[in-house]
Structure 1
């Protein structure tokens, strides 16, 4: 019979083995697939509460000879090895969505459009302006450039942003927000302005009728 320490060690081994194999859990990757996870970034809690979803970061999958990468809007728009992208997610859980009836041609054109944004900075203000991009804005513009509209454009005020985490996320940055600076408003005036700002969230893309979930490693 195992001792308590042996049982804990065995459980830890099984957990680590499961995490190590997570990147291999799904293998049918295709160009243009969308991958979602819960990022370990400091703003993820606010995004999770605002959207009611564990999907706080996402990217577009690119499959080339011998390599699978994710085009994502992180610090900049860049191409990241799949395993590295997955490893940055909480618990290494991820979900994969696929556009219904996406042709190889349109997938390739969308990837080219996404890579045309390479090097652009992350948009900490979450504006729908492609000079700087946040995670779900990248596929919104990339697929939009090939005539495919993904996600629902909403106003921040429609999300659950009036939480301590939400207010902290946006109001810590308000003095540098381009629209608030242009309007010359104070802190509360900026907050009211932000409530009308348009945004496309990761979960709105996941819920789009044009896509379907084909894999999820998230707990039920």
Structure 2
């Protein structure tokens, strides 16, 4: 069917929007897979990966944190395939090519503990994965609350590393510490909280983890 759809698109024949979207997602995932293949030997389990999400809240996160990176996850290898442990809806493992294809321009950055060679032993990775297992399947946290009932992306990374390896990546902040002045940020806050902003709620942002001095950059594509 994909071949027929490709021919129809190339020929300018009108197609159903749903089928067209499916075709373009498939195409983007193939492109991402081709880009990732030569990088695979560079990656290690436990690496952190960041990109600019195309979600409805991405712009507000970028503005509030003053960073282009609005989404992040953890790299694991399952049956020889790279996957991203991420908090979306729900918390799950996503094939790396699909994850990359979802990002703006398929750009992504991979970071790693600066002492990963000694810190991320096979036993440590078992602990890391065990720390995240209870959160698998949890709903995404649209309100960015600091509980395990629902989880957002950078919260997942922070808690997995904290509980699995006793490493705290990035600086915990409060909602009031972010730049809440932009209209797009204010609109998203009103949508989520109304007039009752939880300004004292502990928050960990993708930007804070990205800028952690405990991490080094191993891939920037």
| Shorter-chain TM-score tier | 0.7 to 0.9
Structure 1 residue 108, shift from structure 2 partner:
2.6
In structure 1, the partner of 2:157 is 139
Pairing 1:24–2:50 present: no
Count of matched residue pairs: 187
User: Quick one: distance in 1 between partners of 2:148 and 2:170?
Assistant: 16
Pick one of 33, 44, 49 that aligns with 2:47: 33
In structure 1, the partner of 2:7 is none
Contact 1:36 1:58 in 2 (8 A): yes
Alignment of 1:8-157 (within 5 A): 21-24=34-37, 26-27=39-40, 28-101=42-115, 102-104=119-121, 105-146=123-164, 147-157=166-176
Pick one of 179, 196, 220 that aligns with 1:216: 220
In structure 1, the partner of 2:3 is none
Structure 1 residue 20, shift from structure 2 partner:
6.5
In structure 2, the partner of 1:203 is 207
| Superposition CA RMSD, Å | 1.8
Pairing 1:173–2:173 present: no
Structure 1 residue 170, shift from structure 2 partner:
1.5
Task: Point out where structure 2 has 5 or more consecutive residues left out of the alignment.
Answer: 1-27
User: Quick one: distance in 2 between partners of 1:210 and 1:106?
Assistant: 17
Contact 1:77 1:121 in 2 (8 A): yes
Identify the structure with the greater helix proportion.
2
Q: CA 1:18/1:82 → structure 2, altered by over 3 Å: closer, same or farther?
A: closer
Task: Point out where structure 1 has 5 or more consecutive residues left out of the alignment.
Answer: 1-15, 176-186
Contact 2:46 2:120 in 1 (8 A): no
2:135 aligned counterpart, secondary structure: coil
User: Quick one: distance in 2 between partners of 1:195 and 1:166?
Assistant: 14
Structure 1 residue 25, shift from structure 2 partner:
5.2
User: Quick one: distance in 2 between partners of 1:128 and 1:106?
Assistant: 25
Contact 1:151 1:204 in 2 (8 A): yes
The two structures have a TM-score, normalised by structure 2, of 0.79
User: Quick one: distance in 1 between partners of 2:152 and 2:172?
Assistant: 14
